[in-house]
Amino acid sequence: MPEGIFARLSGRKYNGNDKNLSEDMIEYNATKVWRFGLGKSEPGVRGGNVAENKKEYGKTVEEQLSILKTGAAEIIPEAELAAKLERSLSEGKPLVVKLGLDPTAPDVHLGHTVPLQKLRQFQDLGHQAVIVIGDFTGRIGDPTGKSETRKPMTPEELLRNAKTYQEQVFKILDPAKTRMTFNSSWLGKLTFAEVIKLAAATTVARMLERDDFAKRYAAGMPIGVHEFFYPLMQGYDSVALRADVELGGTDQTFNLLMGRTLQKEAGQEPQVALTLPLLEGLDGVQKMSKSLGNYIGVYESGREMFGKTMSLPDELMIRYFERVTKVPVAEIRRLEAGLREGTVHPRDLKMRLAREIVGIYHGEEEAERAQAEFIRMFQQKEAPDEMPVIEVGALKGPDGRLELVTLLVGSGLAPSRGEARRLIEQGGVRLREERVTDPQAIVSVNSGDVLQVGKRKFVRLTL
């Protein structure tokens, strides 16, 4: 394959059709990876000095490997990672460690943070973290795990979502050691002839080895030709950045290995693929997903995060400690042994887990407040100190009567009248601490009354 396809890393500016972008996002050059919202980085993606960092962290290759292997599902191949770490240390050059994020939704949940935590480990060992914002790949959408073709997103939607990622990922990553870039800055410059040559690096037969494509093909379900290009584009990102390591979930293995293939075609040393287990959601069965409602969002309040964590099945506690907290491995093993031997109570361990998670995203003080409020609400059966206040006057009917269903929808405790009726019938609604089960109920309220749905949703009513 001609080297020219891979060598073309020329910059661009967004044109007038790219709207609603802050000035610090508008201009960037592919040969200068931008620190998202922080100004320009130095040319290229390498920076720092591992030899100097070793003085601070004191980690040998073997010690680095031990840290990086912890919690990883697979390292392909592990021997190459060891060799890269050895060379990095001897030459004083950090490894370029890549993680791609497609901004197809504005919010990050804990499932997304598993590779971010591993990327932070690489940073702490002196290596260079590069976040690739997939503003180009996101227009197709990753077909991984999808049973049907995804609806394309517009560049405006993707960039609007991308703007929210900075604050969220920097709750985990060190901003001073992180560089962010947009893959449209190289993918958007490829000509059609170059795209055809890029596609020649693989075959349809290999694409159909992907589990999701294979299932759809066997079931006679459509597969868009453009979907075949997603792994090629993700792989080409690795060529553009000369990545040494790429991180991803176990469902990303095919895409990560495509990066190795394209780097070999470009005459580069292939990256190491480090995959991480997918995080089960709060149901303990399916992977964490916003669409399934089994998620803990990074942007959620400390109280909400704490309460959701406490609803986690006991058998997932240790896995969450390993994958989404900063608790040292030795400490996790001690807690695990205590749980097994009965010297650590599951409730106490889950509270520790909830504090750790809330502390990462909201600070230790908020974690303590969230725990105190949880104890007050669920162990002492008291309402929280702070809750939204709802004026009920506008919710009354022309006859002055107040339907409970209308009150639930109007106060934001139910998204629809149908859902409100379901909550009432299932016994999930309390007014003044009394359960109400009649979906046709007409209620009278006084200022200061508390309306509750489930275990965590409260509003205070006022006339």
Task: Tell me the C-alpha distance between 184 and 453, whole Å.
Answer: 45
Q: What is the DSSP string of 353-377?
A: HHHHHHHHHH-HHHHHHHHHHHIII
Residue 415 exposed, middle or buried by CB count within 10 Å (0-12, 13-18, 19+): exposed
DSSP secondary structure letter of residue 77:
T
Q: In whole angstroms, how far apart are CA 143 and each of 137, 214, 277, 304?
A: 11, 12, 18, 31
* Residue indicated by tokens 């629809």: 416
Rounded Cα gap, residues 306 and 304, in angstroms: 5
* Interacting residues of 173 by C-beta distance below 8 A, sequence separation 6+: 116, 119, 120, 123, 129, 131
Q: 44, 446, 387: which is closest to 241 by C-alpha?
A: 44
8 A C-beta contact, residue 345 and residue 314 = no
Q: Which residues contact 201 (CB under 8 A, 6 or more apart)?
A: 1, 232, 261, 262, 265
Q: How many CB atoms lie within 10 A of CB 193?
A: 10
Can you say which residues are annotated as belonging to the binding site for ATP?
290
Binding residues: 290
- The strand pair at 429-431 and 434-435 is best described as antiparallel
Q: Around Cβ 315, how many Cβ atoms within 10 Å? A: 10
Cβ–Cβ under 8 Å, residues 332 and 388: no
